Homo-oligomer: A and B are copies of this chain.
């Protein structure tokens, strides 16, 4: 293969690695959405949103379609949603883990009277 798989993976993750792009993909999970709706939902300048949408388009993660005067974007495939779900699982697990650790630390502290 001309491009090693791990390079492609890294690129995929890199493209996902921006808050606005994540936000867009999350919103598109609820169905096709116009740029105006995205703009209303995501705190970002129109020009910035366009650039991020272009990134997602170039990597074929979303599709764009004209509808009269407005552009409607949609997820290109269901697999992206799986990635987002996996990330959410990992993060929630990590956060609850931290909370548990914090609880334990606080309990220990209370017991031993560490300053």
Contacts and interface: CB of A to CB of B under 8 A. Distances in A.
A19 B6 contact: yes
Chain A interface SS verdict (over half): helix
Can you tell how many copies of this chain the complex includes?
2
Interface string A5-30: 11111111111111101110010000
A26 B4 CA distance: 13
Interface of A: 4-19, 21-23, 26, 60, 77, 79-80, 82-84, 86-91, 93-94
A86 B82 contact: yes
A16 to B, nearest CB: 4
A77 B83 CA distance: 17
Contacts of A84: 9
